[in-house]
Amino acid sequence: MDVFLASGGSAALFALVLWLARNLIITRLTKSVESEYARLLEAYKFDLRKSEETFKADLKTKEVEIAALRSGTLSAISNRQLLLDKKRMEASEEIWASVMSLGAFKFVSSWMSVIKFEAAAEAAKHNPNVRKLVEILDQQIDPEFLKSKIVPSKSRPFVTPMLWASYSAYSIVIMQAVMRAFVIKHGVGAELLKEEKSAEILKLVLPHQAAYIEKFGASCYHYLLEELEEKIIQEIHHTISGASTDEDGIKQAAAVIKKCNEISDPAPNA
């Protein structure tokens, strides 16, 4: 009986020890897992904070780069626009200065508008007295002197097409008058001049004057100079303001410039 009691007590004690050991192992294992989890969680949080800080730093860097790029681009655009505006202003001033210089030849244009050119040119071949009709014009009938007053084509890219076309028409009217006086002065004959394109150019620039030009021909060109000047002023305003030219205006100007380019150098050898 005592033996059984002793054996039962030992078994109970062993079971208790085993239960305590198991609980201890479970507790330690749980704490170990919790500790490892906490460590991993802290490591994850640290990596997350580090990644967040890195992301913020990269974002800040990109924002600075974008701001610099935006500022640089806007600055470049602004500088380019300022340069273009400066070129437009200079080209417009150059054209108007030329118009003022060519205005000195209006007297020639006025003089030639009242002379029957074809008859005078033919008579001047043989009659010195006819040639004297234009001697009063002196230097103003020197083609080379006139050319020095013409604006070089380097200004053309910076003005509206219609401004260049109007200026071209104006200079052609003046040049034609000078060349007519030159022909009479030297008695070389009217056939030397090729004037067919002049009327076409004026009709393109001043289409509402087509019937007037058709009726009176070259004798009326002088009386169109003032209107051409007004048109040039109007187009200078458009050029300086940067106003766009409509499609019809561009086509009209292109047609004028094409006709101008078809006119060969009319200056004969003296």
Looking at residue 69, its pLDDT comes to: 59
pLDDT tens, the chain, 270 aa long: 554 445 555 666 666 666 666 666 666 666 665 666 667 667 666 776 777 777 777 777 766 666 665 665 556 556 777 788 888 888 899 999 999 988 888 988 998 888 888 888 888 888 888 888 777 776 667 777 777 777 777 888 888 889 999 999 999 999 899 888 888 888 887 777 777 788 888 998 999 999 999 999 888 999 999 999 999 999 999 888 876 555 555 666 667 667 666 654 444 443
Looking at residue 70, its pLDDT comes to: 60
Looking at residue 270, its pLDDT comes to: 39
Report how far apart, in Å, the C-alpha atoms of 214 and of each of 105, 146, 210 are: 24, 27, 6
Backbone phi, psi, residue 186, to 5°: -100, 0
140 within 8 A of 250, measured Cβ to Cβ: no
Tokens of 135: 């001697």
pTM of the model: 0.65
Looking at residue 250, its pLDDT comes to: 63
195 within 8 A of 219, measured Cβ to Cβ: no
Cα radius of gyration rounded to whole Å, the chain: 47
Looking at residue 4, its pLDDT comes to: 43
CA–CA dist 204, 256 (Å, integer): 6
* Long-range contacts, 204-208 (Cβ 8 Å, 24+): 204/165, 204/169, 204/252, 204/255, 204/256, 204/259, 205/165, 205/166, 205/169, 205/231, 205/252, 205/256, 206/169, 206/231, 207/252
